[in-house]
Chains A and B, each alone.
Chain A
Amino acid sequence: MIFSIAARELRGLFLSPLAWALLAVIQLIMAYLFLSQLDTFLLLQPRLAGMEGAPGVTDIVAAPMLQTAGFLLLLIAPAVTMRVFSDERRTGTLSLLLSAPVSMTEIVLGKFLGVLLFFLLLLAMLAAMPLSLYTGTTLDAGKLAAGLLGLALLLAAFAAVGVFMSSLTEQPVVAAISTFGLLILLWIIDWSGSGREEMSGLFRYLSLQAHLESFLKGLFSSADLAYYLILVATFLILSIRRLDNQRLTG
């Protein structure tokens, strides 16, 4: 049941020009970034060759690229998630789901999964670029895998926040802006209070970006994994509660 809803969600995305436009734009920008990063590496390569323990191609090309991708996807994620529930409410199709023998949890998970699948597809297309380097050199596969996993978790968090925001309003644009606002806030939250130790600890833990960084360094820590999973679970549970509540309040 979850998969049927997810499949329709994904199909709905690809039936509008939005998904295609996003894929094309992201791919274009990332390809440009990738090539310029590659250029830098080729420039530095003679000097790096002489150094002991010098950063490899994965550090110089793949990691910065994935980092930028994370921020870029933050900008476009709201555009993907904004319609998830708000459109269904506006056009009245939500009552189809609500009157069907489907639980609220299945509806929310289906929607989340649909969006996540789209993001993972996007990620697969981005991953193809650093992977293409395998034709000429060898990469640090572990580091790259950790980076991709980190980005996938980040995207799952975007999707969960977006789904929740979309369940709050009938206006897709309002959903997009509030998703964007919350994501940006979570992204930059560790910028403030960096002077004082006791404050920055909490803020740093809340930051989306800080947890991504350790993944990009090739560090797979269960604390970071837990952070993203808790974030996703929290917002999905909030969405379920929100929809249940809507049946009560009309």
Chain B
Amino acid sequence: MDSKILISVEHLYRYYGHHCAVQDVSFQLAQGEVLGFLGPNGAGKSSTMRMIAGTLAPSAGRILVNGTDLLDRPRLAKSDIGYLPEQPPVYRELTVDEYLHYCARLHRLARGRRSQAVERAKQRCGLGDVGRRLIGNLSKGYQQRVGIAQAILHSPAVVILDEPTVGLDPIQIRDIRALIRELGESHGIILSTHILPEVQATCTRVQIINQGRLVFSESMTNLQQRLVTGNVLLLETREAADSDSLRALPGIHSVEAAGPNRLRLIFEGDSPADSVAALVGEKGWGLVELALDRRSLEQVFVDLTCSENPADEEAA
């Protein structure tokens, strides 16, 4: 990967008393990447993100932000990070404008650039017409957007979003996802979520964390290929298909029922989709769907996080 490495996490550990919440987590984030962080509740997602954002000190390990060690030179490193915690860190008694101006000052934006930065963040997060309203009177979705605006205000190199679409309505979710993809082109983004389709919709890379360990790390394109289970075709027809004549087709190994008018065709060699479609047309069964069977990300997730022993495919 030739793009710039923005975040480099090396052997990160975090203990709460005797409980180890994050255990030997290492990964890198390059510019232009949107990294999706998945994991069941209590897996250590938030702890890892808080450590990268600097609000929690790691028990061991090293975090480099844009080449700067977060623990040695926190101020310099933190200026490259925008962070939205699980709970949007908003002052309910301030108006949106006041709040964002305060954030701009906290991030040491020059006086002349503040208004411009605030306007831009508001416009990107769809806050244009609520600038003068009190944050406490806004709905949860709007408060969440204010939180996101705060995180991208100073155009940091890395934006860390902890469950950014919680509490938003479907249209807002779509807008925020589009925003994340747009930001992902020029920044590096780390995003945690419970919503699996969200990862597929926005991320370029997926990491699954379970019981404090990184158990899966794969780019989205590789993942899509891996999800194809191989030699299974799913066939759905309007009228019941005759499985015997399907089995007679060259290449088809066996046929299983997969529901009303649905069949799973297990084949060998090249996909016989052509001949299956031709047969369905000839017999007049009415083709509804014919597709390669894919495992969903959900299945991968469940496989990795529900097994007793963490999977061997430990991330590099």
Contact = CB atoms under 8 A, between A and B. Distances in A.
- Of listed A11, A93, A99, A250, residue having the most chain B CB within 10 A: A99
A99 B54 contact: yes
Nearest to A92: B87
Interface stretch (A33-41, A100-108, A187-195): A100-108
Interface in A29-79: none
Q: Is the interface of A mostly helix, strand, loop or mixed?
A: helix
A96 B176 CA distance: 21
Interface in B45-99: 50, 53-57, 74-76, 78-79, 81, 83, 85-94, 98
Contact of A98 (B55, B90, B94, B103): B55
A241 interface: no
Interface residues of B, number: 32
A99 B65 CA distance: 13
Contacts of A234: none
A1 B108 contact: yes
A137 B79 CA distance: 58
10 contacts: A1-B105, A1-B108, A8-B91, A11-B98, A16-B93, A92-B85, A93-B90, A93-B91, A97-B106, A103-B75
Closest 6 CB pairs of A and B: A96-B89, A92-B87, A100-B106, A101-B79, A98-B55, A4-B105
Contacts of B89: 91-96
B27 interface: no
Interface of A: 1, 4-5, 8, 11-12, 15-16, 91-103, 247-248, 250
Contact of B57 (A8, A97, A100, A247): A247
A165 B89 CA distance: 22
Given A96-B106, A247-B56, 7 more contacts: A15-B94, A95-B50, A95-B83, A95-B89, A98-B55, A99-B54, A247-B57
Interface of B: 16, 50, 53-57, 74-76, 78-79, 81, 83, 85-94, 98, 102-103, 105-108, 150
Contacts of B86: 92
A102 B86 CA distance: 21
A11 B74 CA distance: 28
Nearest to A104: B74
A96 B150 contact: yes
A248 B57 CA distance: 5
B185 to A, nearest CB: 23
A102 B55 contact: no
A226 to B, nearest CB: 32
A103 B150 CA distance: 19
Given A100-B106, A101-B75, A103-B75, A95 B85 contact: yes
- Of listed B56, B81, B98, residue having the most chain A CB within 10 A: B56
A89 to B, nearest CB: 11
Contacts of B88: 92
Contacts of A12: 91, 93-94
Contacts of B81: 99
B55 A247 contact: yes
B107 A100 contact: yes
Contacts of A94: 55, 89
- Of listed A1, A8, A94, A96, residue having the most chain B CB within 10 A: A96
A8 B55 contact: no
A101 B90 contact: no
B150 to A, nearest CB: 7
Given A91-B92, A95-B53, A247-B56, A102 B75 contact: yes
Given A12-B93, A95-B83, A4 B53 contact: no
Nearest to B16: A250
Contacts of A91: 87, 89, 91-92
A126 to B, nearest CB: 27
Contacts of A97: 106
